[in-house]
Structure 1
Amino acid sequence: MRLQVRRRLTPTVLTAAAVAGVVTFSLVASAPAGNAAARPSSAYAVSAEGQVPIAKTPYAESLDGKRQTSTALELPKNPLISVRAGTATAGNDSASVELFDIVIGPDLLSQVKLPPELQQQCASLPKTGAADLPLPDLALPDLGLPLPKLTTKDLPVKNLPDLCNLLLNPPKSLLGIDSLNVWCSGNQGGVDIGSLTLLGQTIKLPSTKQGATLPAAPLATITVNSQGKHSDGAFTITGLTINLGGAETINLASATCAKPATKTKPKPKPQPVNPAPAQVATPPSAPVPTPVKTHQPVTG
C-alpha cells in the first residue's frame, strides 16, 4: 500500500540511502545504558539526530507516577518525515506510544531523471524476454552528499523492466508504515507494526520479537524492537531505529519505564509536652492535745 505524498524531499542522506536501496532489518537488544541517576517514566513518538534533527515529539514524562499524555497531529516542518498522529503516554512504571501513517522520505526517487540512453532502452522493451536483459550500469545524479557515487546497479531491482518501472513510476516514499504501537510495563514491553512498505514494496517482517533478522546491507540499517536496561533499573523499548549510513538516525516510538521518585514523607510535627501538675504543699497536721489532770478546790 502506498501512503499519500506529504511534501517534496530536499536532498538529504535519506535520499542517497533510498537510491542505494540498501536497508537492513534486524531485531537486537541494545547494551545497558550507564546512568546512575534515577529517571522518570517517559515516552516519545519521533526523534532524529543528524543532518535533519527533530526533537522528541510528542513527549510525555511522569515525575510523580501520575498519568501524563501528549499528542501531536504533525511534526515540526522538515523534509525527512511526517506522521498523521502520534500519542505518547507515561505513568507509574508504565509508558506507551501510538503512531499512525508514518512517511519517511516522500517523493525521493522523483528527483532522479532517466539518462537518455536508459529512456530509449525502457521505451523499446520487448514484450517477451525483457526480464533476461542485463541491467545497465549508468551513473545517477550527484546528490551532493558524503556518500559514494551511485549507479543504476545500486538500485534494488532484479532486471531492466524492474529498473524502468521504478524510475518511471517512482514510489511515494522510502519507507511507509501504517501504524506503530509500543508499550512497556516494568521491565518488559512489546511492539506492534502495521503494514510496512519500502520503496513501494510491501515488507513482511518475520517477527517483532528480538532475534529475528532480514539480510544485512551496508548503508542503512533498520532496527526493530530495540530493548535496553539502565543502571538505575529503568527499561527502554524503541519500536524502530533507522540509521542512514551514520549520518542520520531516526527513532520511532520509544517508551521508558521507571518507578517514579519516592515521595519524601513529611516529618511529624513535635507534640507539645504537658507540664507536670504543680505540687500543692500539705499543711502540717495539728498535734493531738494531751489532757492535763488538775485538782479544783471544793467550796460549799
Structure 2
Amino acid sequence: MRPDLARTITTVAAVGGVVAFTVVASAPIGNAAARPSSAYAVSADGQFPIAKTPYAESPDGKRRTTSALELPKNPLISVRAGNATAGNDSASVELFDVVVGPDILSQVKLPPELKQSCANLPAQGADDLPIPDLPLPDLGLPLPKLSTKDLPVKNLPDLCNLLLTPPSSLLGIDSVNVWCSGDEGGVDIGALTLLGQRIALPTTKQGATIPAAPLATITVNDQAKRTDGSFTITGLTIDLGGGTQVIRLASATCSKPAPHPTPKPTHPPTTEPPQLNEPPAATPPTPVKTHQPVTG
C-alpha cells in the first residue's frame, strides 16, 4: 500500500471514531418524567379562554403553593378563592364559591302572555298547568338557542318563580377539593345548584356525569394516567353548548421529578495517533578490506 493512501485511511478511521463516540454520549436518558407535578384551580377553553389560574408547579420535587387568583374579566365564571399546591409526586387544589354564568336570567323579560299567566295562577291545580314553549333571548354564553322548555322546571308555577325571581347564576358550586399522590387521588365537592335548584351528586366516583342538557354536562372526577408515568385528576369538567365552552375546576397532576444524569464526556480520551509503518532507512555500506596481488 502506498504511504499516502495508508495515511488517508487511518485519518478517516480516527475521525469516524470521534463522531460515533459523540453521538452515543449525547443520547437522551430514558425513563425520565416528561412533566412535573402541578396543580391549578380554574381553566377554560372556547369562546372565553382562561389560562390555568392559580397555577403551581414543582419541577424539582420541592413543595410549592400559590393562591394568586386573578381571572380575566369575563361573563362566564367568577371564583372567590383558590389554592394550588404541587410537590414530589403529589398535588392538591382547594376552590371555593364558584359561579358559572352570573345573573344569566336577569336579562330575560317575560312575554306579555306569560306574564299574564303567571299573575293569574289559580289557587288550586296550578301545579298541573303545562309549561309554554317560548324562545329565550341570547343569554351571552356559548349555549344553543333555548326555550322555556329547556329550563329545569316541572310546571308553570316553577317557571314563573324562576323568571320572576331569577337566581344569581347558571351554576353555583360551594367548593371543590382535589388531591393526588402517585397514581391515586380523590375529590370532595360541596353543594351544587343549577339555576337556583340543588343538584344531587349521585357519586364522586371516576368519570361520573351529571347531564343537565342542553344547559350543561358536568363530569365528576375525571382521571388520566399517561405513558410518561404522570397521573392527573380533575374535580369538575363543565361542558357548555356541546363542547363550545369547556371549564375545568380543580385539577392536580402527580409526577416524580426527572432525574439529573451525571454528565458524560463528549470527547474521547486523548491517545497518541497511530504510527505508520515507514520503510527502514538505508544503511550505509561497510568498506571491506581486500588484498590485491603486487605486480611490477
For the criterion TM > 0.5, the same-fold answer is yes
- Shorter-normalised TM range: 0.7 to 0.9
Match of 1:104 among 96, 100, 103: 100
Residue identity over aligned pairs, in percent, reads 81
Q: 2: distance between equivalents of 1:78 and 1:150?
A: 21
Change in 2 beyond 3 A, CA 1:150/1:217 = closer
Quick one: higher RCO (CA 8 Å, sep 6+), 1 or 2?
1
Match of 2:48 in 1: 52
**Does 2:91 correspond to 1:90?**
no
| Residues 74 and 85, structure 1, Cα contact 8 Å, conserved in 2 | no
Equivalent position of 2:187 in the other structure: 191
Once the two structures are overlaid, the 10-residue window that deviates more, 205-214 or 92-101, is 205-214
CA contact (8 A) 1:74 1:83 kept: no
The answer to whether the 8 Å contact 1:74/1:82 transfers is: no
Give the conservation status (yes or no) of the 8 Å contact 2:127–2:157: yes
Please tell me whether residue 182 in structure 1 is matched to residue 150 in structure 2. no
**1:264 matched residue in structure 2:** 261
Q: Separation in 2 of the partners of 1:140 and 1:95?
A: 42
Q: Distance in 1 between matches of 2:183 and 2:141?
A: 41
Structure 1 pair 240/68, CA: closer, same or farther in 2 (3 Å)? same
* Cα 1:207–1:114 shift into 2, 3 Å: same
Amino acid at match of 1:176: G
Is the counterpart of residue 251 in structure 1 residue 251 in structure 2?
A: no
The number of equivalent residue pairs is: 233
Instruction: State the Cα distance separating 1:133 from its structure 2 match.
Output: 1.2
Gaps of 5+ in 2: 1-31, 266-296
Q: Separation in 2 of the partners of 1:144 and 1:196?
A: 22
Question: What secondary structure sits across from 1:77 in the alignment?
Answer: coil
2:75 matches 1:79: yes
The reply on whether 1:207 has 2:207 as its aligned counterpart is no
TM-score after normalising by structure 2: 0.74
Give 1:129-148 correspondences, 5 Å limit. 129-143=125-139, 148=144
**Per-residue deviation, residues 104-136 of structure 1 (Å, max 9, x unmatched):** 111001111000000000001111111111111
Rounded to whole Å, the distance in 2 between the matches of 1:56 and 1:86 is 12
State the alpha-carbon separation in 1 of the partners of residues 184 and 60 from structure 2: 21
In structure 2, how many angstroms separate the alpha carbons of the residues matched to 1:38 and 1:148? 39
For the residue of structure 1 that corresponds to 2:117, the secondary structure is helix
- The secondary structure found in structure 1 opposite 2:67 is strand
Which residue of the other structure, out of 233, 236, 242, is the alignment partner of 2:229?
A: 233
Normalization by structure 1: what TM-score?
Answer: 0.73
Equivalent-residue separation in structure 2 for 1:211 and 1:66 (angstroms): 30
Corresponding position: 1:152 with 2:134: no
Worse-matched range after superposition: 218-227 or 238-247: 218-227
- CA distance, structure 1, for counterparts of residue 171 and residue 210 of structure 2: 16
Q: Secondary structure at the match of 1:253?
A: strand
Q: What SS does structure 2 have at the residue aligned with 1:110?
A: coil
Q: Which runs of 5+ in 1 are unaligned?
A: 1-35, 269-300
